[in-house]
Chain A
Amino acid sequence: MKTGRMLLATALVALFAGGAEAQVSVKLGVLNDRSGTYADLSGEGSVIAARMAVEDFKAKDKGINVEIVSADHQNKPDIGSNIARQWYDQDGVDVILDVPTSSVALAINQITREKNKIFINSGAAASDLTGKQCSPNTVHWTYDTWALANGTGSAMVKAGGDTWFFLTADYAFGHALERDTIAVVEKSGGKVLGTVRHPFPGSDFSSFLLQAQSSGAKVIGLANAGGDTINSIKQAAEFGITQAGQNLAGLLVFITDVNALGLQTAQGLVLTESFYWDLNDETRAFAKRFAEKSGGKMPTMVQAGVYAGTLHYLKAVEALKDKDSAKVMAKMKEMPTDDPLFGKGQVRADGRKIHDMYLFEVKKPEESKGPWDYYKLVATIPAAEAFRPLDQGECPLVKG
């Protein structure tokens, strides 16, 4: 009898002890492209990254219950916004992660603000997310067009590439990328010898590449994206442009593109990224664990951004023991960021996450020691210079 009562008491104490540890349940939704152009860049890898962040954070031991859901937005804004609304309204999702493709990201940005949830973008390039369309509910983690144009533009000029020729996709995105990069190149003391606009989407770049070649510019800037960039790099390789001493500078190229092209074709290409798996011991350790789960693929900067963003969010929730969007956002901006992949940084008032960016050059096939050994570091762009200054983004949050 006595033992029975003891047992009951112990059980009750245990129950209360468990209850005293404030339980917060959060639901994270990874929304990205799982079937199209950006599936390799983000896709399932981003879900793996988010899960790893939850594991590494030991969320369970800290009283945070995390559930992760994922979906494919097929790069269509209406599908993406439908899923996002459903997640927020019906499924109790608190945070949406990743979301490549600018049009979808901007749509989710609006919905998240309307529903007062949190959006941690890693995949999209649109610098408007922290500019004109900035929102108190959005963090833009990994990169944006301004950072890429700035990184490649300024660092290339410093490295001696002071004359440029641009190959630009003829639509708003290409024009913006070209304009931003030209501004940076000229500010750093470089000279632009000419530009040529190619139709979007394009398939034959030979005449444009010949113009670029005969311009004699040291650097050919590719102000295009996706399939256009891939095709122009391939055709440039056929013309032997990089072997002849000119540099190709990709303004929106990712490691997955380099992987798809192969080193033979992509060698000599310079590009800016915010993360490379082979940067230091911590990134290598992360990449090794990641590769085990993803069938040998190394993490991209977008996937790394999902990992780091999730980690930072969970830290804020842990500190507050609460998941109220406004409080968590304030905490995320107040607390400096620190994670093994991007190092120390901060989230600015406009939602822009600040960290170092890196200018890489793609190795020659003989320099590469194994699969995914693609980049050599040319320059590090310090966090303070890597992103658009706070007062130049026309973000209403900053003025107000």
Chain B
Amino acid sequence: MASVSERMAAAPSARAAVDAAHLHRAIFVGIAIFLAVAPFLLYPVFLMKVLCFALFACAFNLLLGYGGLLSFGHAAYLGTASYICAHTAKVWGMPPEVAILLGTAAAAALGFVFGSLAIRRQGIYFAMITLALAQMVFFFSLQAPFTGGEDGIQAVPRGHLFGLIDLSRDTSLYYVVAVIFLVGVLFIYRVIHSPFGQVLKAIRDNEPRAISLGYATNRYKLVVFTLSATLAGLAGATKAIVFQLASLTDVHWTMSGEVVLMTLVGGMGTVFGPMVGAAVIVTMQNYLAHLGAWVTVIQGVIFVICVMLFREGIIGVLARRLKRPL
């Protein structure tokens, strides 16, 4: 009898999960189709910027939304990767794919080191440690001779992908960036729906309970921290190729703040929220640029409205309305 009622209870939730998976697949297909036609409707360089920041925000969301860890130093990984990528592409003459991989690897290594220090503390202390370490990276970037100080690394060649595809054409580069973005977010999607992701959510919701169930929570936290840093690095390295420059903006603490803003506006802990958040913020920075000082004011007002009225973010509210996880 008991087993029947258990099965009855389990069935709808299993069906819901399958439903959600179908929905998500449909959305991903929708995104892929949109990305395929977007450069005919919108300016490709702008789209590439949105994609880089969307990937950055998704990587951050993996840590904050699913790991429950608020890092306030994610600019360090974005910026390090973009410096390494720019330097290897420009000075060492690496092809773009190798430069991006080297940048990403540098961010991964940095994430591992910083992560293993930061996860020893929780809450505000965790955030402060990540911030402090990121400030050290900023200082290093300011001082190190290869970063060019406040001038940054300029005139990074876009090069030829695999020696074949000329990336100096905006459209070809756009499709490369779109593929990198899709691979990145699908990887994140896979991670959060894997057993590893389930444990991660358990740790986020109740860490002592996860420990009592026998999970080595620190190891999980370190892995997710490193993954997040790596993907942030992927975004940063790609951005360096897109804009052909790496500068202090990418390692500055305001960049760490901006990614928090993007994630919160879009919807923390949702799959698609950070993408929407990044698109909203980047679009504002870009299309409201002629309003001058008002951009930052509007950005602030939107953030306040978002926090006061819909704390789950745009996609979070949408998901609640639709009663579906997004």
Contact surface of A with B, Cβ cutoff 8 Å: 34-35, 39, 43-44, 69-79, 81-83, 85-86, 89-90, 102-103, 106-107, 109-110, 126, 128, 133, 170-173, 200
A139 to chain B, nearest CB (A): 18
Check A77–B249 contact: CB distance below 8 A. Answer: yes
CB neighbours (8 Å) of A77 from chain B are 152, 243, 245, 247, 249
Contact surface of B with A, Cβ cutoff 8 Å: 43, 45-46, 49, 142-143, 145, 148-152, 154-155, 170, 239, 243-245, 247-250, 285-286, 289-296
B297 to chain A, nearest CB (A): 9
**Contact A103 B152, CB 8 Å, known A81-B243, A86-B45:** yes
CB neighbours (8 Å) of B290 from chain A are 69-72
Q: Which 4 A-B pairs have the closest CB atoms?
A: A172-B149, A34-B292, A35-B293, A71-B289
A170 to B144, CA, bound (A): 11
Check B289–A107 contact: CB distance below 8 A. Answer: no
CB neighbours (8 Å) of A76 from chain B are 247, 249
A34 to B289, CA, bound (A): 9
**Contact A83 B292, CB 8 Å, known A126-B151, A171-B143:** no
CB neighbours (8 Å) of B243 from chain A are 77-78, 81-82, 107
**Contact A102 B292, CB 8 Å, known A83-B286, A171-B143:** no
**Contact A173 B289, CB 8 Å, known A74-B295, A82-B46, A90-B43:** no
Question: Which of A71, A82, A107 counts the most chain B CB atoms within 10 A?
Answer: A82
A78 to B282, CA, bound (A): 11
A35 to B299, CA, bound (A): 13
| Residue in A34, A82, A89 whose beta carbon sits within 8 Å of that of B286 in the complex | A82
**Contact A172 B151, CB 8 Å, known A34-B292, A79-B289:** yes
Check A78–B43 contact: CB distance below 8 A. Answer: no
A39 to B291, CA, bound (A): 13
A70 to B150, CA, bound (A): 24
Check A110–B154 contact: CB distance below 8 A. Answer: yes
| Residue in B150, B155, B239 whose beta carbon sits within 8 Å of that of A103 in the complex | B150
A71 to B295, CA, bound (A): 11
Check A72–B151 contact: CB distance below 8 A. Answer: no
Check A133–B295 contact: CB distance below 8 A. Answer: no
A83 to B286, CA, bound (A): 7
CB neighbours (8 Å) of B155 from chain A are 106, 110, 133
Check A78–B286 contact: CB distance below 8 A. Answer: no
**Contact A86 B46, CB 8 Å, known A74-B295, A103-B152:** yes
CB neighbours (8 Å) of A170 from chain B are 143
| Residue in B45, B149, B249 whose beta carbon sits within 8 Å of that of A82 in the complex | B45
| Residue in A74, A128, A173 whose beta carbon sits within 8 Å of that of B285 in the complex | A74
A269 to chain B, nearest CB (A): 23
Check A128–B142 contact: CB distance below 8 A. Answer: no
CB neighbours (8 Å) of B43 from chain A are 85-86, 89-90
A128 to B151, CA, bound (A): 10
| Closest chain B residue to A35, Cβ basis | B293
A86 to B293, CA, bound (A): 20
**Contact A39 B293, CB 8 Å, known A77-B249, A85-B45:** yes
B302 to chain A, nearest CB (A): 16
A-B contacts, 22 of them at CB < 8 A, read: A34-B292, A35-B292, A39-B293, A69-B290, A70-B290, A71-B289, A75-B249, A76-B247, A79-B286, A81-B243, A82-B46, A85-B43, A86-B286, A103-B154, A103-B248, A106-B151, A106-B154, A107-B245, A110-B155, A128-B151, A172-B143, A200-B142
| Closest chain B residue to A107, Cβ basis | B245
CB neighbours (8 Å) of A107 from chain B are 152, 154, 243-245, 247
A373 to chain B, nearest CB (A): 28
A20 to B291, CA, bound (A): 39
Question: Which of A39, A106, A133, A200 counts the most chain B CB atoms within 10 A?
Answer: A106
Check B151–A103 contact: CB distance below 8 A. Answer: yes
CB neighbours (8 Å) of A81 from chain B are 243-245
Check A82–B49 contact: CB distance below 8 A. Answer: yes
B142 to chain A, nearest CB (A): 5
| Residue in B244, B248, B295 whose beta carbon sits within 8 Å of that of A110 in the complex | B244
Check B292–A43 contact: CB distance below 8 A. Answer: yes
B115 to chain A, nearest CB (A): 26
B53 to chain A, nearest CB (A): 10
Check A34–B151 contact: CB distance below 8 A. Answer: no
A271 to chain B, nearest CB (A): 21
CB neighbours (8 Å) of B285 from chain A are 74, 79
| Closest chain A residue to B294, Cβ basis | A35
**Contact A78 B295, CB 8 Å, known A69-B290, A102-B151, A173-B149:** no
| Residue in B49, B148, B149, B294 whose beta carbon sits within 8 Å of that of A78 in the complex | B49
Seed contacts A77-B245, A81-B245, A103-B154; 6 additional CB < 8 Å A-B pairs = A35-B296, A72-B291, A78-B243, A90-B43, A106-B154, A107-B244
Check A172–B239 contact: CB distance below 8 A. Answer: no
| Closest chain B residue to A44, Cβ basis | B292
CB neighbours (8 Å) of B154 from chain A are 103, 106-107, 109-110, 133
A340 to chain B, nearest CB (A): 28
A14 to chain B, nearest CB (A): 37
A79 to B293, CA, bound (A): 14
A46 to chain B, nearest CB (A): 12
A172 to B140, CA, bound (A): 12
A32 to chain B, nearest CB (A): 9
A71 to B143, CA, bound (A): 31
A311 to B285, CA, bound (A): 31
A106 to B285, CA, bound (A): 21
A106 to B293, CA, bound (A): 23
A140 to chain B, nearest CB (A): 14
A220 to chain B, nearest CB (A): 23
B37 to chain A, nearest CB (A): 18
B52 to chain A, nearest CB (A): 9
Check B142–A171 contact: CB distance below 8 A. Answer: yes
CB neighbours (8 Å) of B250 from chain A are 78
B253 to chain A, nearest CB (A): 12
CB neighbours (8 Å) of A126 from chain B are 151
CB neighbours (8 Å) of A35 from chain B are 292-296
